[in-house]
């Protein structure tokens, strides 16, 4: 499974890079793309208009969903302490990917620091 980070969803929404969209749709076709609660909140919470938010919420529902376990939250605490630049949200996203043994598809270079903790980055 590949956890799709908020940065990828934002890039697709802004239509910044067609190669990113191709990678995501390839993963989706193989049923390997997933979202998490943190990504859900970060991406959808950015839409101020209810109609737009609802439209994207319906689109995200088509993807798998990775639960963030208690162990992942415990790991997120450790990751944030070691890498405060990440911020709490990204620490939770990284920990969710690590705990679920999923790769992370992200455009955020700060996640590279988490490879030392077992994070696999999708490229």
* Domain regions of the chain by residue span: 2-121
pLDDT, tens digit (0-9, with 9 covering 90-100), for 3-37: 999 999 999 999 988 899 999 999 999 999 999 99
Structural tokens at position 108:
């955020």
pLDDT in tens, 69-98: 999 999 999 999 999 999 999 999 999 999
**Architecture of the domain spanning 2-121:** 3-Layer(aba) Sandwich (3.40)
3-state secondary structure (DSSP) of residue 3: strand
Q: How far is CA 123 from CA 2, 26, 68, 70, in A?
A: 10, 12, 23, 28
């Amino acid at each position: 499974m590949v956890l799709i980070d908020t940065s990828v969803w934002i890039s697709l929404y802004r239509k910044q890079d067609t190669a990113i969209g191709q990678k995501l749709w390839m993963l989706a076709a193989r049923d390997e793309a997933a979202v998490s609660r943190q990504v859900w909140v970060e991406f959808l919470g950015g839409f101020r208009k209810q109609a737009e938010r609802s439209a994207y919420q319906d689109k995200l529902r088509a993807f798998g969903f990775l639960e963030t376990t208690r162990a992942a939250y415990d790991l997120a605490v450790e990751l944030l302490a070691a890498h405060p630049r990440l911020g709490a949200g990204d620490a939770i996203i990284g920990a969710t990917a690590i705990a679920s043994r999923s790769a992370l598809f992200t455009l955020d270079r700060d996640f590279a620091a988490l490879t030392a903790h077992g994070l696999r980055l999708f490229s």
